[in-house]
Structure 1
Amino acid sequence: KLEVTDDLVMSETNAALTHYANASGGLTIKSTNGFIDVEDIRFTGNVIGISGDADIITLTTQSVAISGKLDSSDDFSVATTMFTVDAQTGNTAVDGTLRVTDATTL
């Protein structure tokens, strides 16, 4: 067990923190009092963000919640073919019922 009471600074050009295990275990990096920053990404429990907006993505069992805008530069689909958008043409296909509650131009 190694306990460090101050910053850990590595000056190696290509430094690495490596975990070796003979079993199927893993490596845990955690903070007992706050968040963990890796480069510009902030992890706080099951929430991922950046220092100025710490709750952009929330992960739960079989669920991802995004609190802001979602951009996609490639094709987009839900359940493979239930709802698709072609990134090049904008063509959209819906394999279910499309319900609209306000004014619509088709």
Structure 2
Amino acid sequence: MNDSQYNLAAENILLAIEEAIENCGCDIDYEGVGGMLTLTFKNTSKIIINKQAPLREIWVATKFNGHHFHFENDQWFDKRGGGELWQFLSNAVSKQAEETIVITEQ
């Protein structure tokens, strides 16, 4: 993957996450600025999702831990555990919001 392919994939996933949050019917605020998306919950906790262009990764920081995702076969996978980004986000958002929330690609 070259830089332009990475940038396109990273921007697409950040926009898709924004759209998924907007459409999930949940009470989560979000703000996207310069390759970083911040999700803010009612309990004031945050999840930060951002591009790491030099490594061609997406990093996700929750109040519990951080994960690095790489792009492979049109999906983002956790470098640590191999899990897929959308499943990870559903679990992380649910845990942090303290309610079941399903985040899916639209």
TM-score, reference length from structure 1: 0.24
TM-score by length of 2: 0.24
Flag the structure with higher helix content: 2
Higher relative contact order (CA 8 A, sep 6+): 2
